[in-house]
Every structure is written in structure tokens, then in C-alpha cells.
Amino acid sequence: MRWTPIGIALALLSLTSAGAFAADVMVHVGHNRLDPAAVSIAVGDTVTFHNMDAMPGGHTVATEDGALSSPPLQKDQAWSHKFTEPGSFGFHIVEHPAAKTTIVVK
């Protein structure tokens, strides 16, 4: 099969549909830390909080204002949230309030 310029353009166009640009960003949850400390994403992207640390009762991740909260995450469990509005969202580990990250959605 020989590729024509129109065929190449159509193939590239199919790869650039709106869903092709959505990203999944990982934030690692550990004992008294969230890593990275800041993340910048686009509207429509998903952030997954992955607990890397064993702790009795698990770790719970929540926004500073309490609007969003994960269930208690045991080691190797994850919780995801898709951000549909722009803004800056501060998160912390409920069991370790000094452990924080900021998600900036543009």
C-alpha cells in the first residue's frame, strides 16, 4: 500500500482527537510525603494517587477544602480524579497533614 499526502493527513488527524491528549499523571503517596510536590495539568487530565507505603488504616488523600477525598488507600492501592475545571487544588494526606501537593489545572 502506498501512502498519499491525504492518507497521511487523515491518519495524523485521527491521532489528534480530543481523547488523544488527555493525560494520566501519577502522584506517589508515602509516609509523610506526596511526590511530586506540585503538578501542572490540562483540563480533562486525570491525577492518580498511588499509595506506596504500608500503614495501618491506610492513607487518605483529600483537598485542603475537603471537597474531594479518597477512600483509605492500603499499600499499592490507587485513587484517581479527572479534573474538569481549571484552578489550583491543594491536596494533603489526612493522616499526615504536612504532606502536601498542589495540582494546577490550566
pTM of the model: 0.79
What confidence tens digit (pLDDT) does each residue in 12-65 have?
444 444 445 668 999 999 989 999 999 999 999 999 999 999 999 999 999 999
Q: With respect to residue 13, please indicate whether it lies within any of the assigned structural domains.
A: no
pLDDT of residue 23: 82
C-alpha cell at 15: 491521532
Tell me, what CATH number does 58's domain have? 2.60.40.420
In angstroms, the CA 66 to CA 73 distance is 17
For 61-100, what is each residue's pLDDT tens digit?
999 999 999 999 999 999 999 999 999 999 999 999 999 9
The pLDDT value given to residue 31: 87
Q: How many domains does the chain have?
A: 1
- Domain range spanning residue 39? 22-105
Domain assignment of residue 99, yes or no: yes
